[in-house]
Amino acid sequence: MGVTEDLADELARDTLKLVEITGNEDLVSEVSNTLGASSTPTQEAFMSAIRVRMAVARARQLLRTRARAAQQSAKPATPGTK
């Protein structure tokens, strides 16, 4: 990646960590708007990194849910239960 993408990705990671801590999802828009005021390419790289990281997080959550369901269905029945 280039400098812009590297810095935007680092900022995206930091932003998402703070969103997780605070629960303030508006922070993504605030950071994006701040970037856009001075560097549209950096803003675009930041939002791309945000979208990719959020999509991956959703996909990982889906996999965890499916893995738990598979583990539950694979457990042997205890004696005396159906």
What per-residue confidence (pLDDT) applies to 81? 57
Whether the predicted pLDDT of 1 surpasses 80: no
- Give residue 80's region: left, alpha or beta (phi > 0; psi -120 to 50): left
Q: For residue 79, is it within any domain? A: no
Per-residue pLDDT of 15-72, as tens digits, reads 999 999 999 999 999 999 999 999 999 999 999 999 999 999 999 999 999 999 999 9
Q: For residue 42, is it within any domain? A: yes
What per-residue confidence (pLDDT) applies to 20? 96
Q: For residue 82, is it within any domain? A: no
Integer Cα distance of 71 and 80 in angstroms: 20
Q: For residue 81, is it within any domain? A: no
Domain of 15? 3-74
Residue 62, CA distances (Å) to 20, 38, 65, 67 in order: 18, 37, 5, 9
Confidence of residue 76 (pLDDT cuts 50, 70, 90): confident
Domain total in the chain = 1
